[in-house]
Amino acid sequence: MILVLLGPPGAGKGTQGVRIVERCGVPKISTGEIFRDLAAAGTPLGLEARNYWSRGMLVPDDVVVGLVKERISCDDCLKGFILDGFPRTVTQADILNDLLAQVGRKIDGVLDFEVDAEQLVLRLSGRRTCPHCSATYHVTSKPPQVDGHCDHCGCPLVQRPDDNPDSIRIRLEEYAAKTAPLLAYYAERGLLHRIDSNGSPDEIFRSLEPELVAMGCGY
Ligand code: AMP
């Protein structure tokens, strides 16, 4: 099963992606996470990409596509995978279709997480992340058990460098200009499933479960 998670930053793609992985048993590929890991490792590509993402701008298509191409050809993707944060432009979507077609595969569905704009800003500005295991928290709606530390691995939580007000504004503008056109792109291809993502993580998962069932995922 090949599933794409779409939606603006803060819509819950990462959080729901983790739950979908548990349910469907295929890996989640988050391009944002890959960029953060490469930057933390200090690789030249990671540091170059950081110049874009830390300011809220999209990383150039050719850089992202190269990473995704390599990742989806790994053995653990043979049964399927969930793309979180890719594609983010029509060019990336076209290239993904071509890459999949070359190996006789195709996207099974696209989940679009829809959230009111003011909710997004609240979610992003209060978000805290574990730099070690990528678990996410929120200062009010999902605080960790021990203040400032990850429940899973105990690492001190951080605020992502792009979760500051200036970068958040640019990310939302980038989404509207470059990623939102993918909604029509996938709707035209009969792949788009719209999910109301204004509620709690449990409520959102309940509303997307029927879509997973319809796609035959893990049931
Ligand atoms: P995310 O963790 O999905 O919010 O991604 C964090 C940042 O990484 C984004 O704001 C972009 O700057 C960059 N990024 C992630 N995925 C892509 C992509 N498919 N195309 C371009 N830039 C990306």
Tokens 């992340």 sit on residue: 129
What pLDDT score was predicted for residue 72?
96
Q: Note down the domain range covering 190.
A: 2-115+173-214
pLDDT tens digits, residue range 112-151?
999 998 889 999 999 999 999 989 999 998 999 999 999 9
The CB of 53 under 6 Å from ligand 1? The reply is: yes
* pLDDT at residue 219 greater than cutoff 80: no
Residue 155 placed within a domain: no
> Among this protein's residues, is 13 annotated catalytic?
yes
In a domain, 31, yes or no: yes
Amino acid in position 179: T
Count of domains forming the chain: 1
For residue 9, which atom of ligand 1 is closest to its CA? 4
Which atom of ligand 1 sits closest to the CA of residue 53? 12
pLDDT at 187 over 60: yes
Find the catalytic residue in 28, 50, 127, 128: 127
Q: Is residue 9 part of a domain?
A: yes
Q: Is 217 a residue whose pLDDT tops 90? A: no
Instruction: Give me the CATH number covering residue 48.
Output: 3.40.50.300
Cα separation, 4 vs 123, in Å, equals 22
Residue 22 placed within a domain: yes
H or E element, residue 204? helix 201-214
Residue 182 lies in a domain: yes
Q: Find the farthest-apart pair of alpha carbons in the chain and give their distance in angstroms, rounded.
A: 48
pLDDT in tens, 1-48: 999 999 999 999 999 999 999 999 999 999 999 999 999 999 999 999
Annotation marks residue 55 as catalytic: no
* pLDDT, averaged across the chain: 94
How confident is the model at residue 218, as a pLDDT?
62
In a domain? residue 83: yes
